[in-house]
Structure 1
Amino acid sequence: MFSDLIFAKPAQNIGDQDVHLWLLDTRQYEENHQLALFRSILSESEHRRMLQFRKPEAQQRFLIARGALRLLLAALHPSLSPADLAFVFNDFGKPALHPNPLNIHFNVSHSGNMILIAIARGRECGTDIEKLDASRNIRELAAFYFHPHEHALLLHAPDEAAQLKHFYALWTLKEAFIKAEGKGMAIAGDSFYFSDIDSAHPQVTITENSQASVQPWRFSQQFFGDDFSMALAVAENDELELSVMCKCLIV
């Protein structure tokens, strides 16, 4: 059970150098008692947002993502229950805890049956997970959304399989960066570009016309099995080393 995993070993501490990544498979949380727990801790506004989704599977994915986020954040605030947590949103819709005495930052992404949650302290963070889809016209998407430098690298991939992975590595890195910045579509996809994406530390270059900030970031990207690409963007801090711990909540 999800609740057993969370409360058996609560993540009660997170240091300034830590980023916790939680990976959830929604297929593992479909029993009535598990979903009832999630429903019991969502706010009224979250319930309304959930019901705005027409498809039952989309409603359930939202329910699990928000419920899991509340459980994880509440574990860091022992004086608060998951239902007590309150959120505020910036002008672009990025949520934050309020009040937030521990300076906790978080981000949530989902694709298919997988949900990815990133939690950091004292650092902005963004994350993205995408299910690989070979039926998409990735060349057309890259031409429209990517910087020309990224598009050119994509076209030089040796075969279609490599091109697909290259596309989704770039896509998730770019989405994680935009989400970490918290400015939504105000940051155009072609106003920055990534290089060294096959290395442990991909690098980003910001163009002159970009709305992205000039603060340093650290990035990571990896594939989960053969089906998903995951990426993380975390604000850099020269004084602290960064440790990323990935915890798969899959029973």
Structure 2
Amino acid sequence: MSGDVSAFLVGDVPSATVTGLLATLDDEERRRAARLPSAEGRRRFVIAHGVTRQIVGSCLGAPPAELQWKVGAHGKPELVGQWTGIHANLSHSGARCLVAVSRDRAVGADIQRLVPGLDVLAMARRYFPADEAADVVGAADPADAFARLWARKEAVTKAAGGRLTQVLPLPTPPGAVVELTGSAYRVIDVPAPDGFHAAVALAGAEEFRVGVSEWKPGVAELMPEVARWTPEVAQWQP
């Protein structure tokens, strides 16, 4: 169906797989990885960017190492060169990352780890609209409520290729259509592991479906079973 999204959750992978993923990165990605201060940070970077290349390469029938990206004014990469024709977006938080791909519409993905000790009440009051800030303050688990909202706002920001400060004050209920600089973006929550929240946004107000699966080395399946987010019942319906 036009407008569907495939989303892949990525965790740790064997060291031999990391070595193979590193070989597909371009020179700039390798420089960025090398600048990270910890071995664990470098490993996670290689996994996130290498797996993104694997997924996008599979979608396009392209060698992952031949993919080229151009970074926009606010940091969003877009495919350029010989291999184009698909929209992709990557997010990583802690030891997890989320890769989303769409054939028809600009896509944004975000995964957020619940961070212990983060002053989410102060952040919600500062950055969110008053009703959302009140929801966080009144929630049984404010950190959980905050991470869910933040993931939606980041996903919209990344779909738009804009600034997070433009989106933070905008209401983002589940399934919301967010108006930003004259354009519409629809955002929905997607399943995430315990301790995380995740969201995907697409350009345009039309509804869309997201299929979510766990990425495994060597698995070539591109379009997992899709499920439609139904806000009325607040659950995933096959």
What's the TM-score once normalised by structure 1's chain length?
Answer: 0.79
Greater Cα radius of gyration, structure 1 or 2: 1
Aligned pair 1:52/2:46, yes or no? no
Q: Deviation per CA, 1:179-233, whole angstroms, max 9, x where unpaired?
A: 111013462522x1223x3xxx2354x5xxxxx3332322211452431101111
Determine the structure 1 residue equivalent to 2:209: 243
Supply the AA of the counterpart residue of 1:235: A
Equivalent positions of 1:158-197 (< 5 A) are 159=140, 161=141, 163-185=142-164, 187=166, 189-190=168-169, 192-195=170-173, 197=174
Equivalent positions of 1:226-237 (< 5 A) are 226-236=194-204
Contact 2:191 2:212 in 1 (8 A): no
> How far is 1:123 from its partner?
0.5
Equivalent positions of 1:113-132 (< 5 A) are 113-132=95-114
Q: Deviation per CA, 1:70-102, whole angstroms, max 9, x where unpaired?
A: 111111222x31111111111112101113765
The unaligned stretches of length 5 or more in structure 1 are 1-14, 207-211
Match of 1:40 among 3, 6, 23: 23
Equivalent positions of 1:93-104 (< 5 A) are 93-99=75-81, 103-104=85-86
Match of 2:125 among 135, 140, 143: 143
> How far is 1:242 from its partner?
2.4
More deviation in 144-153 or 169-178?
144-153
RMSD: 2.1
Aligned pair 1:202/2:202, yes or no? no
Q: Deviation per CA, 1:28-68, whole angstroms, max 9, x where unpaired?
A: x132x211211111111110011111111111111011111
More deviation in 33-42 or 143-152?
143-152
> How far is 1:107 from its partner?
0.8
CA 1:82–1:102: 2 relative to 1, 3 Å? closer
Determine the structure 2 residue equivalent to 1:63: 46
Number of residue pairs matched? 217
The unaligned stretches of length 5 or more in structure 2 are 218-238
CA 1:219–1:100: 2 relative to 1, 3 Å? farther
State how far apart, in whole Å, the 1-side matches of 2:131 and 2:122 are. Answer: 15
Supply the AA of the counterpart residue of 1:243: R
Q: Percent identity?
A: 28
Match of 1:220 among 167, 173, 188: 188
Determine the structure 1 residue equivalent to 2:234: none
Q: Which has the higher contact order (CA 8 A, sep 6+)?
A: 1
State how far apart, in whole Å, the 1-side matches of 2:88 and 2:190 are. Answer: 19
Supply the AA of the counterpart residue of 1:135: G
